[in-house]
Amino acid sequence: MQPIHIIGGGLAGCEATWQIARRGVRVRLHEMRPLRMTGAHRTAGLAELVCSNSFRSDDHETNAVGLLHAELRRLDSLILRAGDAHQVPAGGALAVDREGFSAAVTAALQDHPLVDIRREEITHIPAEWDSVIVATGPLTSPALAATVCALTGEDALAFFDAIAPIVYRDTIDMSVAWFQSRYDKSGPGGAGADYINCPLTRDEYEAFIDALLGADKTSFHEWEGTPYFDGCLPIEVMAERGRPMPWCSCARTTGSARSTTWSAFRPSSSTASRCASSAPSPVSRAPSSRALAAFTATPSSTRPSCSTQACG
């Protein structure tokens, strides 16, 4: 009996490999890294995450994503098992130590007797393959993207997300900033105070936006030229569109249990609207320039992360 071929060693490919193998069926998992790297990945590890918050909410009672987590746990999900074992504080979200998470998933699949991991780029689907799952995601190689387009009749494949600025925790003035999670949720790995909230006066917030708009940014990759959608927008794009924004910023751990760096982002309006009421005294006074500098020191990292694979 032929093995089931799975192309792509990300979250979907690894979970499919695990679920098929644990049912007694041989699986051949094809992953092109490290022979061919992508514009976002940095390691050869399977299930390498770019964002520590990729799993989003873990609230199974009020959130559809959290409910999916609960269902996957009942199905002995390898991805959720590794995520739970390597979680880091993130309020009500399931955020993970990315290095530990990837290592755990890689080890589990490498050790399974029915899993054969092949480090090779697949550019087309061989006719002799009986059963195939394509799970290559937004960073599909151009050749395979063309193959998928030809099979599906689509003329393009697109994906969009945004990267937040990275700041060092010791550059944030904690005499002004405070710890608090969204909606005060403790979450699976937190205690209800897992995010650093940095209040800004209106003048400071506008200076922050001006600094982002006027800063030299990292050059985009060719596949990062996709126009912004109305989903996950970088903060400077919101400013360019003239949208009203709350005068508050937040930061969360970048995804390592040992990390001293935090990613900055604009909080939800419900969180930001409580900046004045939730912050400990003396929030009414303006934060020091050191707190503001923490969010203007690395504007080049606010570039978007998006891709479009043209087919043809």
Q: Kindly report, residue by residue over 225-238, the tens digit of the pLDDT.
A: 656 555 566 666 67
What is the total count of domains within the chain? 2
Q: What is the pLDDT of residue 221?
A: 66
Asked if the model's pLDDT at residue 66 lies above 60, the reply is yes
55 and 82 housed in the same domain: yes
Asked if the model's pLDDT at residue 43 lies above 90, the reply is yes
Is the distance from CB of 278 to CB of 267 less than 8 angstroms?
A: no
- Rounded Cα distance between 64 and 122, Å, is 34
| CATH code: domain of residue 123 | 3.50.50.60
| Percentages of the chain per state (helix, strand, coil), in multiples of 5 | 35, 20, 50
Q: What is the pLDDT of residue 302?
A: 33
171 and 213 housed in the same domain: yes
Q: Of 60-69, 72-81, 175-184, 272-281, which gets the smallest average pLDDT?
A: 272-281
Number of neighbouring beta carbons within 10 Å of residue 298: 16
Number of neighbouring beta carbons within 10 Å of residue 15: 20
Q: What is the pLDDT of residue 187?
A: 78
The residue range of the domain holding 261 is: 161-310
The DSSP annotation for 10-25 comes to SHHHHHHHHHHHTTT-
179 and 114 housed in the same domain: no
108 and 249 housed in the same domain: no
142 and 224 housed in the same domain: no
165 and 147 housed in the same domain: no
Asked if the model's pLDDT at residue 123 lies above 50, the reply is yes
170 and 273 housed in the same domain: yes
171 and 296 housed in the same domain: yes
What pLDDT digit, counting tens, does each position of 208-260 carry?
778 777 766 666 666 566 565 555 666 666 777 765 555 555 655 555 555 56
104 and 19 housed in the same domain: yes
Question: Which residues, in sequence order, are CB contacts of 227 under 8 Å at separation 6+?
Answer: none
